């Protein structure tokens, strides 16, 4: 990108100036960023139907099976602190390739384990080393656009990304029927190889030369501190961490809830997919309306709706016995609101940090993922055979998220949208 072209920062010209072959357009960029992020989702959601079998074969008891998911989440949260700073210095492509290589190699290693402790350790390491697959795509998008246009693009990315949680459990269940749970990790490696080939041939470097940062601990810490201490951003980082922490709690305990509490294990993939559909619809809707109404107005409305639906879920779960239909309908609606919260809160939080997009994305993703992982594991471990702990946690997290947003907005909601530089 030319430093003298003012349109580069607003995203009005083509998304890249050079490309290996023809120019990379917005649609291809959206799909490619979604696929990079979806590798993480596939590595989590394809495991869900296999947790019971894995627990039996690798000798895990009680809620310990959830650590296969929780360890990956926690590793991804811790690991997210690092790739952004290196992406701001060496570029986006090298960090993506390191993450992809780790994803492929450690997936194959997980397929060969013989004890539960080893697979938990490998999943934790995989989460750390693959964190760039979640961090760098947001920085690449921020390299091109800002403001509500970024929110629109992130919504489209999330819409495609969320197709993976819908399909992954069914894919995992199908693989298990043919080749066992270990082959799921083989499928992860194949997916990583395919997406890596696409990145190699089609994605040019997007970091502008004038935005490169030095690898200096003081510079890195200063950039991350700026991204996490700016009042207008931190409330949205914490708020999204809280509400998505409750979602991670659902992911951790979903196999037990659906399979044991409601006795529908054979329909797990279908039911889980149905719960995620709302997020896909929400992200598509958000991409159509956010530039008209603004990320703040849409995101704030969605958070208030999440709190209301969570309160209804608490009431429903407290009525013994809660029906599976009630649980899934309310869970689907709650997840739909998160479809609006995720893209809009992320875009608002990244808005001030064009010049340090990598470090900002890294620090913010680390806080979201680490907080979400710890909350999700804690909520999952509260599973008592009912949906009451999950529903109560969702309501509590929603209220705390509202307080965080009010802090950033100085006590006022539904503010006017702010365009990017």
- Looking at residue 360, which CATH number applies to its domain? 1.20.1250.20
Mean pLDDT (the chain) is: 83
- Per-residue pLDDT band for 274 (boundaries 50, 70, 90) equals confident
Which residues contact residue 374 at a Cβ distance below 8 angstroms, ignoring those fewer than 6 apart?
Answer: 74, 77, 245
- Total structural domains in the chain? 1
- Per-residue pLDDT band for 8 (boundaries 50, 70, 90) equals very low
pLDDT value of residue 412: 86
Of 215, 212, 192, 223, the C-alpha closest to 96 is 192
Does some domain include residue 2?
no
Lowest mean pLDDT among 96-100, 178-182, 186-190, 247-251: 247-251
pLDDT value of residue 420: 42
**Tens-place pLDDT, residues 47-76:** 888 888 888 899 887 778 888 888 898 888
> Is the pLDDT at 3 greater than 50, yes or no?
no
Does some domain include residue 206?
no
Does some domain include residue 45?
yes
Does some domain include residue 93?
yes
pLDDT value of residue 117: 92
- Per-residue pLDDT band for 16 (boundaries 50, 70, 90) equals very low
Does some domain include residue 72?
yes
How far apart CA 274 and CA 118 sit, in angstroms, is 33
Which residues contact residue 216 at a Cβ distance below 8 angstroms, ignoring those fewer than 6 apart?
Answer: none
- Domain encompassing residue 401: 24-201+217-408
Does some domain include residue 421?
no
pLDDT value of residue 105: 96
Does some domain include residue 138?
yes
pLDDT-above-70 percentage for the chain: 92
Does some domain include residue 414?
no
Can you list the pairs that 3-8 forms with residues at least 24 positions away whose Cβ atoms lie under 8 Å?
3/208, 3/209, 3/210, 8/208
Q: Rounded to two decimals, what is the model's pTM? A: 0.70
Average pLDDT rounded to a whole number, residues 240-246? 89
**Tens-place pLDDT, residues 348-370:** 888 878 777 777 877 888 888 88
- Per-residue pLDDT band for 2 (boundaries 50, 70, 90) equals very low
> Is the pLDDT at 246 greater than 70, yes or no?
yes
Query: With contact defined as beta carbons under 8 Å apart, do 24 and 204 qualify?
Result: yes
- Per-residue pLDDT band for 26 (boundaries 50, 70, 90) equals confident
> Is the pLDDT at 18 greater than 50, yes or no?
no
């Amino acid at each position: 990108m030319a430093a003298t072209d003012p349109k580069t920062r607003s995203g009005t010209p083509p998304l890249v100036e050079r490309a290996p072959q023809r120019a990379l357009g917005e649609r291809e960029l959206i799909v490619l960023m979604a696929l990079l992020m979806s590798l993480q989702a596939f590595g989590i959601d394809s495991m869900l139907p296999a947790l019971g079998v894995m627990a039996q074969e690798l000798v895990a008891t009680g809620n310990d099976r959830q650590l296969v998911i929780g360890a990956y989440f926690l590793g991804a949260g811790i690991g997210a602190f690092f790739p952004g700073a290196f992406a701001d210095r060496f570029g986006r492509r090298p960090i993506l390739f390191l993450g992809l290589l780790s994803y492929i190699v450690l997936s194959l290693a997980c397929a060969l384990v013989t004890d539960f402790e080893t697979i938990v350790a490998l999943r934790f390491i995989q989460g750390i080393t693959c964190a760039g697959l979640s961090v760098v795509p947001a920085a690449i998008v921020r390299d091109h656009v800002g403001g509500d246009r970024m929110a629109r693009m992130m919504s489209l990315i999330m819409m495609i990304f969320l197709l993976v949680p819908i399909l992954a459990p069914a894919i995992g269940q199908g693989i298990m029927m043919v080749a066992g749970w270990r082959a799921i990790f083989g499928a992860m490696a194949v997916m990583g190889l395919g997406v890596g080939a696409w990145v190699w041939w089609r994605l040019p470097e997007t970091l502008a030369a004038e935005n490169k940062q030095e690898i200096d601990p003081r510079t890195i810490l200063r950039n991350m501190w700026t991204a996490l201490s700016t009042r207008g951003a931190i409330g949205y980082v914490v708020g999204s961490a809280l509400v998505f922490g409750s979602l991670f709690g659902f992911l951790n305990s979903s196999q037990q809830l659906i399979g044991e509490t409601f006795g529908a294990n054979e329909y797990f993939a279908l039911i889980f997919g149905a719960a995620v559909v709302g997020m896909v619809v929400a992200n598509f809707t958000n991409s159509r309306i956010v530039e008209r109404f603004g990320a703040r107005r849409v995101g704030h409305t969605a958070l208030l709706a999440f709190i209301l639906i969570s309160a209804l879920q608490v009431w429903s779960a407290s009525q013994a016995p809660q029906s599976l239909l009630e649980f899934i309908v309310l869970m689907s609606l709650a997840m739909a609101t998160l479809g609006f919260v995720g893209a809009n809160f992320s875009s608002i939080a990244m808005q001030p940090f064009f010049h340090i997009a990598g470090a900002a994305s890294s620090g913010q993703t680390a806080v979201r993922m680490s907080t979400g992982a710890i909350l999700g594991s804690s909520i999952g471990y509260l599973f008592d055979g009912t949906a009451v702990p999950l529903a109560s946690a969702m309501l509590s997290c929603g209220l705390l998220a509202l307080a965080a947003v009010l802090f950033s907005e100085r006590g006022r909601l539904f503010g006017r949208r702010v365009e990017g530089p």
